[in-house]
């Protein structure tokens, strides 16, 4: 009987080790490399602006004082707490220690992530994240001690923790997969292009301006310049469009797999200057994405308007 119990305990202990390894990999994925696809993780390096906030709860108050939704604020707070609960729950079982050093280890690991985010430009470094992560570790550790006290034997304790991690982990993975499917993509989005020969002489070159279509009046195209981070201000730019300007519409059909783009179909069509200026069919609307190529920054050489189709 003892041998059977010992064998079951060893199997369950191996499961706990496996769960912890998978958890750490998943944690690093969503904290350090969430902005890059799995097939090119290192593309995330330098992708974010390096920012640091050392004043407790400043970022939360900033979010409250702006137009950030309550759901987004709660997601930020409870997300940072929940993601570190497994750390406080599983680490004592890995180290076979039951003391407050577990919490200290959690603080150190969270601080390590924040420092790496700042050094490599992988995200904002915020004291609030460290605070909420620590709360998560404490919650996990309290959960560990509670289950330990309520368990009648080491086997029942291991069974309880394994079942809890398996069930809650599966639910968390399912929610994350549905809402953030791009985190799990292992290959690039397939893009199919029709009539590429119409734009192949410039489409791969650096454009002068990208943004949203506002209006065209008296041969002046007004575009709201695209911003790449919160520090950039939105501004309207005017560019002259002439009969010599080449104008194209790119019809874009996007296929989705849950919450992420799984495929994209593009079809280019050239239109006349007069049709664009009049826009009698009202195909082009305010807010459509546009890309502009200009050799002098004043007149448009080539213009592509992107239209989403169902």
Q: What is the per-residue pLDDT for 288?
A: 93
Q: Residue range 214-236: average pLDDT?
A: 82
Pairing of strands 52-53, 125-126: parallel
Question: Of the ranges 16-20, 42-46, 84-88, 159-163, which one carries the lowest mean pLDDT score?
Answer: 42-46
* Res. 231: pLDDT tops 60: no
Q: Which residues of 135-172 are buried (b: 16+ CB within 10 A; e: fewer)?
A: bbbbbbbebbeebeeeeeeeeebbeebbeebeeeeeee
Residue spans per domain, the chain: 7-184, 190-308
Q: What would the mean pLDDT of 18-42 be, rounded to a whole number?
A: 84
Q: What's the confidence (pLDDT) of residue 72?
A: 82
At 164-203, the pLDDT tens digits run 999 999 998 888 888 777 777 777 778 889 999 999 999 9
Is residue 126 within a helix (H) or strand (E), and if so which, with residue range?
strand 125-126
Listed residue (188, 81, 74, 196) closest to 134, CA to CA = 81
Q: Is the dihedral of CA 57, 61, 66, 71 positive or negative?
A: positive
Mean pLDDT over all residues of the chain? Answer: 87
For residue range 90-137, what is the model confidence (pLDDT) as tens digits? 999 998 877 778 899 999 999 999 998 888 877 778 899 999 999 999
Contact at 8 Å (CB) between 122 and 47? yes
pLDDT digits (tens, 9 = 90+) for 267-306: 999 999 999 988 766 788 899 999 999 999 899 999 999 9
């Amino acid at each position: 009987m003892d041998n059977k119990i010992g064998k079951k305990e060893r199997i369950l202990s191996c499961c706990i080790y496996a769960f912890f390894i998978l958890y750490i990999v998943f944690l690093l994925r969503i904290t350090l490399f969430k902005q890059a696809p799995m097939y090119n993780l290192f593309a995330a390096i330098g992708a974010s602006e390096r920012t640091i906030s050392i004043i407790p709860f400043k970022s939360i108050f900033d979010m409250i004082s702006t137009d950030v939704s309550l759901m987004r604020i709660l997601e930020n707070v409870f997300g940072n707490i929940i993601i570190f609960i497994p750390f406080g729950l599983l680490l004592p079982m890995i180290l076979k220690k039951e003391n407050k050093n577990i919490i200290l280890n959690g603080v150190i690991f969270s601080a390590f992530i924040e420092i790496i985010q700042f050094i490599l430009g992988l995200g904002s470094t915020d004291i609030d994240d460290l605070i909420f992560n620590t709360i998560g570790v404490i919650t996990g550790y309290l959960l560990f001690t509670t289950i330990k006290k309520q368990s009648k034997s080491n086997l029942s304790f291991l069974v309880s923790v394994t079942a809890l991690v398996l069930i809650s982990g599966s639910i968390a993975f399912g929610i994350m997969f549905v809402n953030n499917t791009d985190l799990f993509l292992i290959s690039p989005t397939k893009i199919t292009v029709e009539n590429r020969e119409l734009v192949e002489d410039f489409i791969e070159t650096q454009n002068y301006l990208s943004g949203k279509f506002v209006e065209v009046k008296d041969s002046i195209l007004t575009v709201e310049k695209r911003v790449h981070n919160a520090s950039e201000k939105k501004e309207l730019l005017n560019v002259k469009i002439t009969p010599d300007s080449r104008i194209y519409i790119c019809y874009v059909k996007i296929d989705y797999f849950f919450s992420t783009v799984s495929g994209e179909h593009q079809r280019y069509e050239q239109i006349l200057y007069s049709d664009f200026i009049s826009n009698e069919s009202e195909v082009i609307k305010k807010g459509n994405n546009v890309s502009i190529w200009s050799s002098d920054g004043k007149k448009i050489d080539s213009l592509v308007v992107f239209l989403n189709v169902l």
